[in-house]
């Protein structure tokens, strides 16, 4: 099918519109195409100049526009570069007023066309803005988790010997993507455990394709393992993840800033001046405070209940067994002394007379040990209160959390 004149004009007009109102991302391609077209036109024009006679006649007509009639024929008139340059200058001077007026008309028409296009085709600008927004996405959102593992340090040779927590089975659904089946932390919590804080990307935690084990891979963990050791936003290995035995979801982080950077800032602020005590001010307290700072007041009740439970277990699994051991030692010593005295009297001193002395010494030693431990408990308890007070002064947000913990303690007393 032959191309008609009207179809050719329509195609050229559409192409011109596409070039003029080209979207910003495609403008470099448009400019490259324009350069190639101009180069092709220059080559084609040079070929016409050399090979086609009518092209030379058009140039001769153009040169005769100085008002003087030329009676020479186009074949006889010689064309040279100086002549062409002179005639171009004369024509430019005469055409300048008309060119200015024409430029104003074209400028007005182009501005009106742009206004019409912006009115009816404003989607181009919206799409460009959306493209820019996609190149600078918002920071990812995270879920905040508390995770527990077996203890990473001793809690005192006497305490660990007297009270060994029972090993609870691993109830985490590692091969399931369903996070709703994770058992609650409080039901199986023990005092001798290591607590860490973890940020999990929202998309990974809510994914129906990733298993629980895969959800925790390549996430970031913060913890404290002593006075001078701990992870600061590090990814745990597969062995470390497999050692996790309990998980508590503190909720979605609503901070506008990047949650990982915010967590590191709070971590550094908490760790500054932190005096680590294996029993009285340890990794569990640190992880709970860090989780509350990152997630915010909406998790106050949950964190306060967990901290109160650790206080109760400190008494149940550390202090009470030591007191009971000292009481048993006292009773054993005095029973040994009384029995030894009776044995000496019955045998006329033939039995070992040292048994009553040993029994008295054992009883008195138990009393002294119990008294020393009681004094130590009071001192360490005061250190813990002082540490909480200093943190509240240095980080004012924590005063509200400590008030929530105190309310939970008073609620139990009532």
pLDDT computed for residue 410 by the predictor: 82
4 part of a folded domain: no
Number of domains in the chain: 3
**Quick one: which H or E segment has residue 252?**
strand 246-252
3 part of a folded domain: no
70: three-class secondary structure by DSSP:
coil
Cβ pair 219, 259 in contact under 8 A? no
The pTM of the full predicted model, rounded to 2 decimals, is: 0.59
Q: Residue 344: phi, psi to the nearest 5?
A: -65, -45
CA nearest neighbour of 139 among 283, 290, 297, 263:
263
CA nearest neighbour of 356 among 371, 367, 346:
346
Measured CA to CA in angstroms, residue 4 lies from 9, 10, 15, 17, 175 at distances of: 9, 10, 17, 20, 69
**Is 201 in the same domain as 236?**
yes
**Is 216 in the same domain as 299?**
yes
Contacts of residue 15, Cβ cutoff 8 Å, sequence gap at least 6: none
38 part of a folded domain: yes
**Is 163 in the same domain as 285?**
yes
Domain encompassing residue 45: 9-134
Task: Return the number of other C-beta atoms located less than 10 Å from residue 174's C-beta.
Answer: 14
Residue pointed to by tokens 């390549």: 218
Q: CA 144, 200, 305 angle in degrees (round to 5)?
A: 20
Measured CA to CA in angstroms, residue 12 lies from 5, 16, 34, 106, 236 at distances of: 11, 6, 14, 18, 63
Last residue of one domain, picked from the residues 102, 134, 166 = 134
**Is 160 in the same domain as 206?**
yes
> Exposed, middle or buried by CB within 10 Å (0-12, 13-18, 19+), for 368?
exposed
Q: Quote the CA–CA distance of 24 and 170 in Å, as a whole number.
A: 57
Please name every residue paired with 200 in a beta bridge, in sequence order, or none if there are none.
143
If you ran DSSP here, which 8-state letter would residue 237 be given? P
pLDDT computed for residue 63 by the predictor: 59
CA atoms within 13 A on the CB side of 80: 4
pLDDT computed for residue 318 by the predictor: 82
**Is 338 in the same domain as 222?**
no
pLDDT computed for residue 74 by the predictor: 46
Q: Quote the CA–CA distance of 356 and 363 in Å, as a whole number.
A: 11
Last residue of one domain, picked from the residues 272, 288, 313 = 313
Instruction: Give the distance from CA 100 to its chain's centroid.
Output: 59
Q: Residue 376: phi, psi to the nearest 5?
A: -65, -40
pLDDT in tens, the chain (414 residues): 567 778 777 777 877 777 777 777 777 777 787 777 777 777 776 666 566 666 666 666 665 655 454 444 444 445 555 565 566 666 666 666 766 776 677 677 767 777 776 665 555 454 444 554 455 567 789 999 999 999 988 876 666 666 665 566 678 999 999 999 999 898 889 899 999 999 999 999 999 999 999 999 999 999 999 888 899 999 999 999 999 999 999 999 987 778 999 999 999 999 998 999 888 899 999 999 999 999 999 999 999 999 999 999 888 888 877 766 655 544 454 444 445 555 455 555 544 555 554 444 444 444 444 454 455 577 888 999 999 999 999 999 999 899 999 888 887 544
């Amino acid at each position: 099918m032959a191309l008609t004149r009207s179809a050719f004009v329509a195609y050229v007009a559409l192409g011109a519109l596409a070039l003029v109102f080209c979207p910003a991302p495609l403008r470099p391609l448009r400019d490259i195409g324009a350069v190639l077209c101009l180069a092709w036109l220059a080559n084609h024009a040079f070929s016409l100049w050399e090979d086609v006679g009518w092209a030379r006649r058009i140039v001769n007509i153009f040169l005769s526009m100085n008002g003087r009639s030329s009676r020479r024929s186009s074949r006889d008139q010689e064309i040279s570069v100086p002549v062409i340059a002179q005639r171009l200058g004369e024509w430019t001077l005469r055409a300048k007023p008309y060119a200015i007026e024409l430029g104003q008309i074209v400028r007005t028409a182009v501005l009106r066309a742009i206004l019409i296009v912006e009115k009816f085709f404003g989607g181009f600008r919206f799409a460009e803005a959306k493209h820019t927004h996609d190149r600078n996405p918002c920071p990812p959102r995270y879920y905040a988790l508390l995770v527990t593992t077996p203890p990473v340090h001793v809690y005192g040779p006497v305490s660990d010997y007297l009270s060994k927590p029972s090993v609870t089975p691993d109830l985490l659904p590692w091969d399931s993507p369903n996070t709703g089946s994770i058992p609650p932390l409080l039901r199986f919590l023990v005092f001798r455990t290591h607590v860490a804080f973890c940020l999990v990307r929202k998309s990974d935690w809510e994914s129906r394709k990733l298993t629980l084990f895969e959800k925790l891979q390549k996430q970031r963990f913060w913890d404290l393992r002593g006075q001078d050791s701990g992870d600061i936003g590090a990814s745990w290995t597969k062995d470390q993840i497999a050692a996790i035995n309990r998980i508590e979801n503190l909720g979605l982080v609503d901070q506008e800033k990047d949650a990982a950077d915010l967590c590191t800032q709070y971590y550094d602020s908490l760790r500054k001046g932190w005096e680590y005590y294996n029993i009285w001010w340890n990794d569990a307290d640190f992880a709970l405070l860090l989780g509350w700072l990152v997630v915010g007041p909406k998790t106050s009740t949950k964190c306060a209940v967990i901290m109160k439970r650790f206080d109760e277990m400190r008494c149940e699994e550390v202090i009470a067994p030591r007191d009971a051991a000292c009481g048993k030692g006292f009773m054993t010593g005095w029973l040994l002394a009384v029995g030894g005295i009776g044995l000496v009297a019955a045998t006329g001193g033939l039995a070992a007379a040292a048994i009553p002395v040993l029994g008295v010494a054992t009883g008195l030693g138990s009393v002294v040990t119990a008294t020393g431990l009681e004094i130590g408990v009071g001192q360490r308890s005061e250190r813990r209160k002082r540490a909480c007070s200093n943190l509240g002064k240095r980080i004012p947000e924590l005063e509200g959390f400590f008030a929530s913990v105190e309310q939970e303690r008073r609620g139990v007393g009532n």
